[in-house]
Amino acid sequence: KTPMKVCYLIQTHTNPRQIYRLVQTIKQSSPNALILISHDCRHCPLDRAPLKYLSEVYLLQDKRPRKRGEFSLIQPYFEAIEWAFRHNLNFDWVSYLSGQDYPTQSLAKFNKLLASTTYDGFMQYFDVFSSDSLWDAEEAIKRYYCQYYRPPEWTSDFLLKISRIQDFLPIILSSYFGSPIMGVRSKSTPFNKNFICYGGSQWHTLSRKCVAYLRDFVRNNHRIVNYYKGTYLSDESFMQTALINSGLFKICNDNHRYVDFIGTEAGHARVLNHNDYQLLASEEFYFARKFNPDSRILDMLDTRISQQDSMSQPEPVFQI
């Protein structure tokens, strides 16, 4: 019998105290878990000292820009996976979290799901032009059928002014991320009837073989990677497109996460609070986002997780 091991890959950039709390909660609920923190230390340092007493917690820090909407936001995911394989870390699943995520129930229950499932991954996905898509066709084209670059900051005011007449321009201007980006419809794309453009949430849980496939896909498909680097919001398409088109895996179209975008602006998730507790107590969710540091809802979730952990059986194992 070999203990099943989940690697929690947590991508962070702010609120160290909240990060430490998330890590501690994961290790308390699932002591066997492996935790890999990929931290953008340009925004704030993350002291390794509070993590030293926890086993199998690794911290990777870098100062390279991680810009929202750009491929640089998911580049750390692939670098962390590469690091994990290179250092021969033992894991069976990777659960991808942000620093503002939090478990909503016992991770022993999550482990039982992963130990017994016939799926290779849990990931939201949809054909961007299908009736299941969260975006209309115009939005899908702007996201993934155009190529963008970010002009110098000093041009921002001018570009924002002329963006009002962009319907008459051959270029696309968007200020979705605060400062304008410029794009044009791509003359050629990697997409066709055999390689469909998929979309979905960035956050997921994937088996080791899915993660290994993504690592190899990035290594061996530079043309597609470079194309996605020219799109915006590649984090909401690249991994789905690579995995689903392979036809190699059985992916559950449910990432078992809760997030609420209703009434928010520019794609920011709503901050959850204690009034959301009954919703978060649903058995169908294992994680939710996003939360503020030391929020009352985190205390409520800690109580729920602790109570469930006290009644749980030992962590599941694979039969060999």
Residue 163 confidence (pLDDT): 53
Residue 174 confidence (pLDDT): 58
d(CA 260, CA 272): 8
Q: Which amino acid is at 168?
A: F
Residue 168 confidence (pLDDT): 42
Of 1-5, 108-112, 168-172, 279-283, the one with minimum mean pLDDT is: 168-172
Q: Which residue has the tokens 């059986």?
A: 313
Residue 69 confidence (pLDDT): 78
267: left (phi over 0), alpha (psi -120 to 50) or beta: left
243-248, long-range: CB < 8 A, 24+ apart = 243/121, 243/123, 243/125, 243/206, 243/210, 243/213, 243/214, 244/125, 244/196, 244/198, 245/194, 245/195, 245/196, 245/198, 246/213, 246/217, 248/213
Q: What is the largest CA-CA distance in the chain?
A: 66
Helix or strand run (H / E) with residue 182: strand 181-185
CA–chain centroid gap for 216, Å, is: 19
For residue 56, the tally of other CB atoms under 10 A from its CB is 16
d(CA 272, CA 93): 27
Residue 250 confidence (pLDDT): 98
Most confident of 153-157, 225-229, 263-267: 225-229
pLDDT value at 86 more than 80: yes
